[in-house]
């Protein structure tokens, strides 16, 4: 389930407040590659979806970035002392790490993903401690101590999804183990102490066995994220990057300062719940679209969302219409048909789509651009044993929000085969076209740079999981971030 469309509700008793506020490697596996899915499932995947030595972390990736196959990624990390392995979804749009715990109500006991699930037990770890409501982590999350708090009352959490599923529990403090980069394509075990959620009750899809994982690992910007906690402890820099390979599968995910390749960046829009940037204009086949100046700045939803957890690309209605008209003008004889009442598809027997369709180029603040080739915004499906049917990955963002407003979001469709860098210290994000089956270089604070290579975990080849959060929930979460 994708948490790019997630907001965190932390509660205590009857009190409620919405908080929208070195180099390391983890083994990560892709959830969708190689499993047959229909287009409705693909769309649902998006709609129901966000003085110390510094070292780097390498997060091993698996899977495939093709729009008809892609999904989210999950990592294996160790928790507790002695450490036990847990499979958690990696999500760039949410903040906290949480795992299912012993005594949990409706927690899945098995997974259809080919994984052995493990319930975390604080009592079985010699380094665990419970987090009380009067401790600094809890009070800072609540922006103060809540009424009724006592030293013996635990700091609780609840995450609610747009499809009605949810997870709730309490926070614990324990060791986390990961793969620390120690040399070129080499790692060694590393660890740190973090606060994460201990899931006590699950509902909806989180409680099913067919798509179950041990929990979620959020890579959002909040202080409660594992990335922020490790950075605050001086373990890592608050910088990470991913490169999703939809040619060979797998890719690269690393925490640390990337020094090669060089990446041009654009500023993040401040005070947003997600990774938002300022989109200035769009060019189709060398011609600029004539668009209203404020089309990408819709009220409290500032800017364009960059979300590697979403598969397709969503544009405001006026942008979507002009974009499609400009693309189709180069193929006047093309006969479109609607597949599954939502995808514009066509039969194409004229060779390479890159030769028959125009490129689309996005221009952002700070002279950063993003080139999208036809083979990236078009994807093939099989209809009645015909493999020459292609569909557009562009979607009308106005159809995705129940409040009737447009949304601009760029997902894996345009981010695959590019190194995407999130620099939260400089509050920038950037990308460059890159061979995601190769390697990148990350530097620690001693000035030494090491290579971090691509991974393609074979055990991910038959995995599938859906994202559950709706665009409406994103709107609500973003609005509440301004209210608070």
Does 91 qualify as catalytic in the annotation?
Answer: yes
Query: How many residues in the chain?
Result: 484
Catalytic residue among 2, 46, 58, 91: 91
32 DSSP assignment: S
**21: exposed, middle or buried (C-beta count within 10 Å: 0-12, 13-18, 19+)?**
middle
The residues pairing with 56 across neighbouring beta strands, listed in sequence order, are 23
- Pair of tokens at residue 333: 């004889």
Does 322 qualify as catalytic in the annotation?
Answer: no
Catalytic residue among 179, 245, 307, 423: 307
Q: Which residue is associated with the tokens 């929930």?
A: 473
Residue 324: CB atoms within 10 A of its CB come to 17
Q: Does residue 174 contact residue 80 with C-beta atoms inside 8 Å? A: yes
Q: For residues 313 and 247, what is the distance between their CA atoms, to the nearest angstrom?
A: 19
Q: Does residue 309 contact residue 93 with C-beta atoms inside 8 Å? A: yes
Cite the active site residues. 91, 307
């Amino acid at each position: 389930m994708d948490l790019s469309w997630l907001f965190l509700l932390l509660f205590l008793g009857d009190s409620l407040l919405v908080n929208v506020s070195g180099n390391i490697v983890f083994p990560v596996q892709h959830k969708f590659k190689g499993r047959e899915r229909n287009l409705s499932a693909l769309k649902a995947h998006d709609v129901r979806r966000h003085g110390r030595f510094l070292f780097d972390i390498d997060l091993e990736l698996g899977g495939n970035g093709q729009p008809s196959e892609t999904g989210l990624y999950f990592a294996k990390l160790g928790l507790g002392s002695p450490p036990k392995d847990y499979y958690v979804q990696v999500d760039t749009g949410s903040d906290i790490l949480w795992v299912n715990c012993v005594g949990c109500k409706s927690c899945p006991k098995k997974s259809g993903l080919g994984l052995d699930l493990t319930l975390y037990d604080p009592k079985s770890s010699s380094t665990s401690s419970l987090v009380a409501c009067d401790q600094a982590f809890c009070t800072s999350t609540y922006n103060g101590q809540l009424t009724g708090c006592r030293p013996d009352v635990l700091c609780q959490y609840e995450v609610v999804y747009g499809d009605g599923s949810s997870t709730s529990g309490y926070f614990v403090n324990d060791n986390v183990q990961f793969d620390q980069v120690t040399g070129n394509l080499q790692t060694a075990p590393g660890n740190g102490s973090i606060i994460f959620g201990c899931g006590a009750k699950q509902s909806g899809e989180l409680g099913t066995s067919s798509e179950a994982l041990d929990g979620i690992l959020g890579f959002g910007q909040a202080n409660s994220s594992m990335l922020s906690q490790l950075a605050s402890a001086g373990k890592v820099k608050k910088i990470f990057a991913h490169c999703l390979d939809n040619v060979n599968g797998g890719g690269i995910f690393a925490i640390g300062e990337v020094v090669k390749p060089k990446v041009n960046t654009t500023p993040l829009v401040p005070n947003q719940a997600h990774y938002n940037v300022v989109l200035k204009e769009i060019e189709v086949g060398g011609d600029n679209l004539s668009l209203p100046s404020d089309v990408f700045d819709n009220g409290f939803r500032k800017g364009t969302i960059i979300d590697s957890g979403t598969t397709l690309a969503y544009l405001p209605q006026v942008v979507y219409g002009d974009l499609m008209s400009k693309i189709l003008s180069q193929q006047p004889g093309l006969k479109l048909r609607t597949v599954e009442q939502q995808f514009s598809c066509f039969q194409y027997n004229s060779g390479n789509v890159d030769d028959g369709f125009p490129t689309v180029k996005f221009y952002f603040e700070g002279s950063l651009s993003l080139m999208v080739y036809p083979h990236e915004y078009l994807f093939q499906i099989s209809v009645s044993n015909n493999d020459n049917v292609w569909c557009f990955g562009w979607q009308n963002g106005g159809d995705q929000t129940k409040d009737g407003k447009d949304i601009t979001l760029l997902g894996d469709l345009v981010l695959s085969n590019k190194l995407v860098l999130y620099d939260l210290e400089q509050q920038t994000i950037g990308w460059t076209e890159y061979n995601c089956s190769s390697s990148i270089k990350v530097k620690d604070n001693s000035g030494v740079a090491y290579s971090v290579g691509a991974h393609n975990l074979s055990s991910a080849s038959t995995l599938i999981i859906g994202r559950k959060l709706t665009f409406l929930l994103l709107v609500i979460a973003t609005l509440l971030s301004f209210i608070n």
